[in-house]
Structure 1
């Protein structure tokens, strides 16, 4: 997940926009919303600042009416941050069907793994005992510092039954509760890179739903004592304090809920509608659970790529350099390094502001020999942000540190069906893959 919130413009939206209605226009084929998709390739040169953009994809999401689907909404959300796709998630105390709470505005993040909820949005019944804090064999509380490109979340690991749409986990699974531990307990060194994102305001959502290709959020790195000593996300907190990095078995690591559903648990499809090149007030898509398990989730990708365990296409090439590319719905822009693109000033720090519309191409390559070139469009962030009522953008891009990564964020998803096959190799099943 990489969600840029540092720009003054984005902060200003939070303060200045009193209310922005979520416009959800349901098309006849079951998708759509927020903007005239037919205009995506026909904007005037003035609107585009001159230059040209590649043709936009035009796939529509299916209707979110089946049990293995749930609507995705991009809009103003809880804090006015652009390009955050959200769903509603229900959590229950393990073993209970009544001590439950449905929480909206949970960010859909295909670049991370596991459910994380901000503690302040939970009711007291769940927060104060309903969702038990995980403990290690030593009796110490288990906490996690989950690090993202733009900050970190700190809080306990707890157990909850998770339901999304008509799908539910077979039993309680480990999740992270963000911000339920005092800031004084944040371990240093070992945590704290970037800004703390332990509140709804800081996170821009009520939580994060990590549904990428990995079944849990760290895997062998945190399981093995040798690597965990330096790289584990997890910390043992005896008495709830004095937290120290620790190894954690797989069954206590924060888990991808989809991999633990009773059915339709081998992957997801993120389906977003097309939006105008100049942005839209909102967009409504569909999150589909399972791939090839129901009549509505056949694998129909034109291109598929076998990836590493975490969904990365490590043999991709941009501007003649091998890069690690990934499809990340949790990033609100394309993020990559390109010195030929002008960066914005301080008001839009981190984003690109080219003087004319731009096209860039990247050749995607995963573990297998499959290669495919895709083109993306880029408009100046200052042009896009000039309409403060818009929250959905398909051509917003920004700078990333170094030249070894290419983050195909939410703009890539508009007008596409993007597939994620969950890694099942530990049980003798499929290798992880992505496709579109």
Structure 2
């Protein structure tokens, strides 16, 4: 799940593609390290034969217990509306600069492919919604709103300021967050707010909000801060009196911010740890989100491979089927998404997913900005086979198609049995370059 950081950079990528329900299951399809040399990923499991084909060996890492202050449990299950492969955590928001008058909100999606906290307005209590979390304003006095655009829709709402707590970590001060759906639909700028449908409710999202904790410290960066590019490409809008919203430039300090980058400690990255699941799916899975990398005894950088990325966590020198692609690890996508004409697509019941008659293995060579290269094999089982058990919500071999052949989305299936690392971009303060690893 990626918010659009820059039309220029081609970062317009999303996560919600509605497909038919499977019995009671509401299926939603997601649209600076070091190291060197070439190597292949490995695990202790042997390959598995299913439906006359074979799947690669599954990774077997287990998450650590979520008992330390820099950890919080991740849950995958039926959730609020039966969305498969949606990892969630609890987040607490408070009026800026305080730790009182707070509200803890459950079922917030963990999304390493976007940046910043977004909460659906209907889940906030009245004291926070009606003044406790103040709406940001521009120097003109106009309200600040954002249209966070995805491939098939958008979230629209005000930018507000909140102190954010996750597990035992707290932001040093109030940070900008987006409140989704708190502005009337009549205020949505048109044109200017993407395409597709509004994703402004809990049922639209399948969650109470989105926790964007990828490698970027904020959700747009220089494109929205620079008046020259913001005029055409900014996510942000000036709304005098709350209406008549027009696109505007916004300084970095007022852009929706990655909460982790603003923690008082353990603020240089995250580790997403998910347990292994069966190749035929599982009813649920419980993992751990660890804050900080190399800052505590429980968060050492122990990745076998790390890749220096662009600011938004992309490995732009990856290769799939002989074509250079932009690959990325995205917990907010509920399947692998890539283009492969040799894989049979599902019918209308599971449109957007692959339904090969036999289990399949595909390999991609990952490459970032450094010389590190690593080949990774992924397994693909027919979506119709996986969804036949309507009690399962966690899948490690679900895959679907993506528009074009230039991107390869390693969604949540990649995370099962792995520890996946995200080093946050700190180059503006003279710190680390962004990286990912596993």
Normalising by structure 2, we get a TM-score of 0.90
| 130 and 43 in structure 1: CA distance in 2 versus 1, 3 angstrom threshold | same
| 347 and 18 in structure 1: CA distance in 2 versus 1, 3 angstrom threshold | closer
The answer (yes or no) to whether the contact 1:109–1:212 under 8 Å persists in 2 is yes
| 325 and 5 in structure 1: CA distance in 2 versus 1, 3 angstrom threshold | closer
CA distance in 2, matches of 1:411, 1:28: 12
The answer (yes or no) to whether the contact 1:14–1:79 under 8 Å persists in 2 is no
Count of matched residue pairs? 436
The answer (yes or no) to whether the contact 2:4–2:220 under 8 Å persists in 1 is no
Give the stretch that moved more between structures: 7-16 or 124-133: 7-16
Instruction: Choose the corresponding residue for 1:256, options 247, 255, 258.
Output: 258
| 259 and 22 in structure 1: CA distance in 2 versus 1, 3 angstrom threshold | farther
| 34 and 240 in structure 1: CA distance in 2 versus 1, 3 angstrom threshold | farther
Give a deviation string over 1:101-142, Cα, whole Å, max 9, x none: 000000000000000000000000000000000000111100
Give a deviation string over 1:249-295, Cα, whole Å, max 9, x none: 00000000000000000000000000000000000000000000000
| 38 and 386 in structure 1: CA distance in 2 versus 1, 3 angstrom threshold | farther
Give the stretch that moved more between structures: 371-380 or 193-202: 193-202
Give the stretch that moved more between structures: 28-37 or 124-133: 28-37
Give the stretch that moved more between structures: 228-237 or 6-15: 6-15
Structure 1 residue 188, shift from structure 2 partner: 1.0
The answer (yes or no) to whether the contact 2:187–2:243 under 8 Å persists in 1 is yes
Instruction: Give the secondary structure class of the aligned counterpart of 1:286.
Output: strand
Structure 1 residue 43, shift from structure 2 partner: 12
The answer (yes or no) to whether the contact 1:24–1:282 under 8 Å persists in 2 is no
| 337 and 12 in structure 1: CA distance in 2 versus 1, 3 angstrom threshold | closer
CA distance in 1, matches of 2:166, 2:378: 32
CA distance in 1, matches of 2:118, 2:308: 27
The answer (yes or no) to whether the contact 2:15–2:333 under 8 Å persists in 1 is no
Instruction: Give the secondary structure class of the aligned counterpart of 1:184.
Output: helix
Structure 1 residue 157, shift from structure 2 partner: 0.1
Give the stretch that moved more between structures: 94-103 or 394-403: 94-103
The answer (yes or no) to whether the contact 1:35–1:280 under 8 Å persists in 2 is no
Instruction: Give the secondary structure class of the aligned counterpart of 1:239.
Output: helix
The answer (yes or no) to whether the contact 2:314–2:327 under 8 Å persists in 1 is yes
Give a deviation string over 1:46-80, Cα, whole Å, max 9, x none: 98211000000000000000000000000011111
| 278 and 4 in structure 1: CA distance in 2 versus 1, 3 angstrom threshold | farther
Q: Which residue number corresponds to residue 425 of structure 1?
A: 427
Q: Which residue number corresponds to residue 271 of structure 2?
A: 269
Instruction: Give the secondary structure class of the aligned counterpart of 2:265.
Output: coil
The answer to whether 1:94 aligns with 2:81 is no
Give the stretch that moved more between structures: 80-89 or 189-198: 189-198
Structure 1 residue 149, shift from structure 2 partner: 2.9
| 16 and 305 in structure 1: CA distance in 2 versus 1, 3 angstrom threshold | closer
Structure 1 residue 194, shift from structure 2 partner: 2.2
The answer (yes or no) to whether the contact 1:3–1:330 under 8 Å persists in 2 is no
**What CA RMSD, in Å, does the superposition of the two structures yield over aligned residues?**
7.0
The answer (yes or no) to whether the contact 1:8–1:348 under 8 Å persists in 2 is no
The answer (yes or no) to whether the contact 1:75–1:84 under 8 Å persists in 2 is yes
Structure 1 residue 196, shift from structure 2 partner: 1.1
| 138 and 5 in structure 1: CA distance in 2 versus 1, 3 angstrom threshold | closer
Q: Which residue number corresponds to residue 75 of structure 2?
A: 73
Q: Which residue number corresponds to residue 210 of structure 2?
A: 208
Runs of 5+ in structure 2 lacking a partner? Answer: none
CA distance in 1, matches of 2:34, 2:59: 13
Q: Which residue number corresponds to residue 146 of structure 2?
A: 144
Alignment of 1:190-269 (within 5 A): 190-269=192-271
The answer (yes or no) to whether the contact 2:87–2:331 under 8 Å persists in 1 is yes
| 300 and 76 in structure 1: CA distance in 2 versus 1, 3 angstrom threshold | same
Give the stretch that moved more between structures: 37-46 or 112-121: 37-46
The answer (yes or no) to whether the contact 1:336–1:398 under 8 Å persists in 2 is yes
Q: Which residue number corresponds to residue 324 of structure 1?
A: 326
Structure 1 residue 12, shift from structure 2 partner: 22
Runs of 5+ in structure 1 lacking a partner? Answer: none
Give a deviation string over 1:216-262, Cα, whole Å, max 9, x none: 00000000011111111000011111111100000000000000000
Structure 1 residue 20, shift from structure 2 partner: 14
CA distance in 1, matches of 2:400, 2:327: 15
The answer (yes or no) to whether the contact 1:31–1:62 under 8 Å persists in 2 is no
| 219 and 30 in structure 1: CA distance in 2 versus 1, 3 angstrom threshold | closer
Structure 1 residue 193, shift from structure 2 partner: 1.8
The answer (yes or no) to whether the contact 1:228–1:246 under 8 Å persists in 2 is yes
| 22 and 65 in structure 1: CA distance in 2 versus 1, 3 angstrom threshold | farther
| 356 and 43 in structure 1: CA distance in 2 versus 1, 3 angstrom threshold | farther
The answer (yes or no) to whether the contact 2:261–2:269 under 8 Å persists in 1 is yes
Structure 1 residue 150, shift from structure 2 partner: 3.7
Instruction: Give the secondary structure class of the aligned counterpart of 1:394.
Output: coil
| 4 and 191 in structure 1: CA distance in 2 versus 1, 3 angstrom threshold | closer
CA distance in 1, matches of 2:340, 2:17: 32
Q: Which residue number corresponds to residue 358 of structure 2?
A: 356
The answer (yes or no) to whether the contact 2:23–2:390 under 8 Å persists in 1 is no
Structure 1 residue 33, shift from structure 2 partner: 32
Structure 1 residue 97, shift from structure 2 partner: 2.2
